[in-house]
Amino acid sequence: VTAPVDESATGTARPTRRERVRAQTVEEIKAIARRHLAAEGSAALSLRAVARELGVVSSAVYRYFPSRDELLTALIVDAYEESGALVETADTACARDDILGRFRAAATALRTWAVANPSAYALLYGSPVPGYHAPPEQTIAPALRTTGVLVNVLADAFRLGLVAVDESIPAPASLTTELDRVAASLDFPIPAPVFARGLTAWAHLIGAITLDLFGHLQNVVADRAALFDHEVEVVARHVIGLRHPG
Amino acid sequence: VTAPVDESATGTARPTRRERVRAQTVEEIKAIARRHLAAEGSAALSLRAVARELGVVSSAVYRYFPSRDELLTALIVDAYEESGALVETADTACARDDILGRFRAAATALRTWAVANPSAYALLYGSPVPGYHAPPEQTIAPALRTTGVLVNVLADAFRLGLVAVDESIPAPASLTTELDRVAASLDFPIPAPVFARGLTAWAHLIGAITLDLFGHLQNVVADRAALFDHEVEVVARHVIGLRHPG
DNA sequence: TGTACATCAGTGAACGCGCGTTCACTGATGTAC
DNA sequence: TGTACATCAGTGAACGCGCGTTCACTGATGTAC
């Protein structure tokens, strides 16, 4: 029994030369596609244009992606994973009980990634691509990385008694029931009113980044990063009601 | 001197038969385009498809719109005007000193319009259309109708002493300077910190509607209207710090 | 009221372009004995 | 180490489609005298 045979048989061992070259080509295709996305937008992403830049006939790309939509899906998954990983890393770098710092870090990481990759951000949080439907079984899990961090920060804050949510703003019973059901499925359950504040904070983050990247702050504010930081502070203190520990 | 001659000469008088028919055709083209937009998205909007549905050869449409982009611009302007008018009407229907009610009404009007016209909302607040640049001289004024209402509500609230903005959250001097400059240009100037809260509230509205319409709340909340109302209340009370009068 | 002319809506053909996807194929790279 | 075979990447031609825009034109609708 020789080593190479074992490797190809198990599949989990280091890849063969062919497999490595193939993986490399897949990455190159995605890189080109990402660049086209940035230049033209998702609706204009075309397999033929990618093939042209790859220096290959258009039908060759079908060896790697069975259709244009599957390429799009791969790009979406990558974008969720990349931004999610950055948000996770930013959170992990903070002391666990520094809730305010963690919220700031996560929010800033998301915005920084979005500003650096506006077209990828648009792909995830902008208008749906016409005629394209993301397959949930591939995109949901990666999408949950970012929101997962936010939920964890919120749950830790609640656990530490650092969340001040006044119950004076009533929600209809139907909403509370729904939110309770979702919140109960989390690793560490949180009350519906707290969860609602988290959703509000999330909506604010996406709204602030969207207004900026999509040009609605033109002629209003030049230093958008400063505005964002300030807004994050306002949301952390007043929407979630975060307090410093001790 | 006969009446008809005067009318066509002044230009402001009631339109001729030809002008009326022409205006009607323009409206029909826009209506068809709006429907296509809803079905396919902005990138897929095509003059040929519109012409086909209008029952006319494709070149005929050029009598009414000199290019595809100008048609898009017309749709954008219409959407801003329509949503802006609804928001204005909602505001106007409230007692002037019912600041909370006015904010609620404006926010709800925007969301209601967006839910009823998701593709138009995407056109205004979603990803920029690839390769298209809106001519500012046509789109800026209509876009300011909605934000103008929000600013007015904020200014009135400030004037009535109903805004509670703690200054404990510092903003960098550069940001304050910028916001002061913009706020000073308003009909009724407001302090930079208050203006910043207004921007935060606006970001939240857009974020909340965006997350909902673009599918990010799927499997989270079914009753999105209830969530939105609740969030608006939280933002009004805690971000802007609105208080009931008296 | 009637004729001559100007205006304008709409036609039809064409230009040149790009797209996604299929299919039978060549030739290089790897594998088994 | 050498040969026979299988696998796979990439080719090239084709199918059928849609797009924006231009241009010379026909024919109907309006206007001036």
Residue-wise DSSP of B139-186: HHHHHHHHHHHHHHHHHHHHHTT-B---TTS---HHHHHHHHHHHHTS
Average pLDDT, chain B: 91
Strand D at less than 7 A from CB of A56: yes
DSSP letter at A62 equals G
Res B50 pLDDT > 90: yes
Q: How many helices (H) and strands (E) does chain A have?
A: 10, 0
pLDDT tens-place string over residues A208-240: 999 999 999 998 999 999 999 999 999 999 999
Mean pLDDT across B164-182: 90
Return the pLDDT at A16.
82
d(C-alpha B232, C-alpha A196), whole Å: 11
Return the pLDDT at A55.
95
Nearest residue to B213 via CA among B89, B140, B142, B127 = B127
pLDDT tens-place string over residues A12-23: 556 788 889 999
Return the pLDDT at A13.
56
pLDDT tens-place string over residues B76-111: 999 999 999 999 999 999 999 999 999 999 999 999
In chain A, positions 24-53 with C-beta closer than 7 Å to nucleic chain D are: 25
- Residue B112, sorted as left (phi over 0), alpha (psi -120 to 50) or beta, turns out to be alpha
Partner residue facing B231 (CB), from A200, A223, A238: A200
Among all strands, which nt has the closest C1' to B40 (CA)?
Answer: D18
Distance from CA of A24 to the nearest CA of B (A): 29
Cβ distance B175 to A230 less than 8 Å, yes or no, reads yes
B206 close contact with A: CB closer than 8 A: yes
Can you give the distance from the CA of residue A35 to the C1' of nucleotide D11 in angstroms? 26
CA B83 to each of CA B78, B120, B124: distance values in angstroms, whole numbers, following the listed order? 9, 10, 10
Instruction: Give every CB contact of residue B53 below 8 A, 6+ residues apart in sequence.
Output: B32, B36
A49 close contact with B: CB closer than 8 A: no
pLDDT tens-place string over residues A135-186: 999 999 999 999 999 999 999 999 999 998 887 898 999 999 999 999 888 8
Cβ distance A206 to B211 less than 8 Å, yes or no, reads yes
A202 close contact with B: CB closer than 8 A: yes
Partner residue facing B204 (CB), from A125, A174, A204: A204
